[in-house]
Structure 1
Amino acid sequence: MSFPIKVCVVCSEEFELKPDKPGFANRCPECSSPEASEAVGKGKMDAEERKSASEANEARRDAMKNLLYRKDS
Structure 2
Amino acid sequence: MPFPIKVCAVCSEEFELKPDKPGFANRCPECSIPESTGDSSTKQRMDADERKNASEANAARRQAMRELLYRKDS
Same fold (TM over 0.5): yes
By how many angstroms is 1:9 displaced?
A: 0.9
More helix by share: 1
Give me the CA root mean square deviation.
3.1
Kept after mapping to 1: 8 A contact 2:6/2:26: yes
Larger radius of gyration: 2
- Once the two structures are superposed, the pairs formed by residues 53-64 of structure 1 within 5 Å of their partners are 53-64=54-65
Structure 1 counterpart of 2:13: 13
Kept after mapping to 1: 8 A contact 2:21/2:29: no
What do the CA deviations read for 1:5-28 (whole angstroms, capped 9, x no partner)? 432111111233542614x33222
Distance 1:55 1:20 in 2: 43
Q: Give the TM-score normalised by structure 2.
A: 0.59
Q: 1:62 to 1:29 in 2, by over 3 A?
A: farther
Runs (5+) with no aligned partner, structure 1? none
Runs (5+) with no aligned partner, structure 2? none
Size of the aligned set, in residue pairs, is: 71
By how many angstroms is 1:63 displaced?
A: 1.4
